[in-house]
Amino acid sequence: MSRGKFLTKELLELQGPIEKEDFSQWLVHFCRPTYWGKKLLTPFEALINILQTRRIIASQEHIHDSKGVTCFYEVPPHNWPELIKNDPNGRRGYGLIVSKSAFWYKGGRPCIYTDNLSEDYWPKEERYLLVYTNLTKDPNPIDWTHEREWRIKGDFTLEPIRDVTETWWYPCVEKLTDAQFIFREFYNIHYSYVIELDRIISKKQLLI
């Protein structure tokens, strides 16, 4: 696969996610309460587990591929609190922010919102992207389009990308104290997006 115009320095400058009012060059994955073995992890504990294992385990729910999928959202940061508030699965503001270019390069694609889930209609290689949507269902329309979901087949790993030395992902946390904890626990993580500050902060900015 040709790298082409992949991650540019301008895209990855540490000024917070590059965005327009309703558009972001970054995707976000928010954690929900998750079982790790027999232990139920809180969303923050789930994020710590991701940073330790360098991987998000694929979900097997509501998908059409045996590998499962890992889901991200293309939603600008100023809309994250509303996205979290309206999530029915207990997701919180803990997760990963990933460059959209990196996600695409690794095989991720935007979801397809449709009321036709027929396997005869969709090619096998596209079925993992289907999200059932029915805006005319009466009396309760089914609409997930606000999530602007992107998916990738299987687990999402944080292994280095060849020829890319710039940061292409960041942890996302709700509070400054969460970022301080991550900086203490992970020597190789130097930046984190903090929702309460609405920006990326660096380890050097904090006295820990």
Q: Are 150 and 166 in contact, with CB atoms under 8 Å apart?
A: no
Res 176: pLDDT: 95
Res 12: pLDDT: 42
State the DSSP string of 77-121.
GGGHHHHHHT-TT---S-EEEEEHHHHHHTT-EE-EEES---TTT
Q: Are 30 and 56 in contact, with CB atoms under 8 Å apart?
A: no
Res 62: pLDDT: 65
3-state secondary structure (DSSP) of residue 2: coil
* Domain limits, the chain: 19-110+147-205
* Sign of the CA dihedral running 152, 17, 159, 30: negative
Closest of 74, 95, 98 to residue 178, by C-alpha? 95
Res 162: pLDDT: 79
Alpha helices in 5-79 (DSSP H): 43-53
Run of H or E including 181? helix 176-185
For the segment 117-136, what is each residue's pLDDT rounded down to a tens digit? Answer: 998 999 999 999 999 999 99
Full pLDDT tens readout for the chain, 208 residues: 233 334 444 444 434 444 566 778 899 999 999 999 899 999 999 999 999 999 999 998 766 777 899 999 998 888 899 889 888 889 999 999 999 989 999 999 999 999 999 989 999 999 999 999 999 999 999 999 988 999 999 999 998 887 777 789 999 999 999 999 999 999 999 999 999 998 899 998 875 5
Res 5: pLDDT: 39
Alpha-carbon distance of 16 to 198, in angstroms, equals 8
Res 149: pLDDT: 95
What's the predicted TM-score (pTM) here? 0.85
Alpha-carbon distance of 78 to 29, in angstroms, equals 15
